[in-house]
Structure 1
Amino acid sequence: MTYVIGLPCVDVKDRACVEECPVDCIYEGERMLYIQPDECVDCGACEPVCPVEAIYYEDDLPEQWREYQADNARFFSETLPGLDIPLGSPGGASKLGPVSADTPLVTALPPQTA
């Protein structure tokens, strides 16, 4: 089980969750943050600090955002536009830095406004 970041994060990327994560498993895409499911230790530190309530334990993910569970994993398992290989499990977001790509789901979304 893992935590998932959903639609409210798109075009917000507050990063409070990144600062709170003790295992550095929240990665930055072009328009959204993504949790690496194999690196997440399910501590839940990220969830209460998210100002837009975009982070949920996967079993608590609202139905309208269920597709984001697979999408968070897809960010790491598939070759994204502009990248040569899948990210896999990089072993730390701060080491990798921002990724100038997103999943097709996020890329296709219109700009989100607060």
Structure 2
Amino acid sequence: MIELNKDNFEQEVMQAEGPVIVDFWGTKCEPCKALMPEVERLAEQYKDKIKFCKLNTTENRRLAISQKVMGLPTFIVYKNGEKVKEISGADNCTPEAIENLIKENI
């Protein structure tokens, strides 16, 4: 998974060809940390079909706000620089929901 920050977000996500899924997470977000092993497994499983990135919102607060991320965890799929689908909140961001989000957008 590619670690995003303000310096590479534009290139890795907004200018990417094909679908990109971004995991917005925070260091104090327990549901985020609990999901991480599953997200990494999905990243490995679907690495040939969708680009996986993660953004630590604790370190990149302004960037997260600019993407209208208001809660954690949040997963957003981008295609050609456009936000196409988003799920957010611990109840919605299950491994199954994340995998469905991937399958809908590859």
TM category (shorter chain) comes to 0.3 to 0.5
Q: Quick check: which one's strand share is greater?
A: 2
More helix by share: 2
**How does the TM-score come out when normalised to structure 2?**
0.32
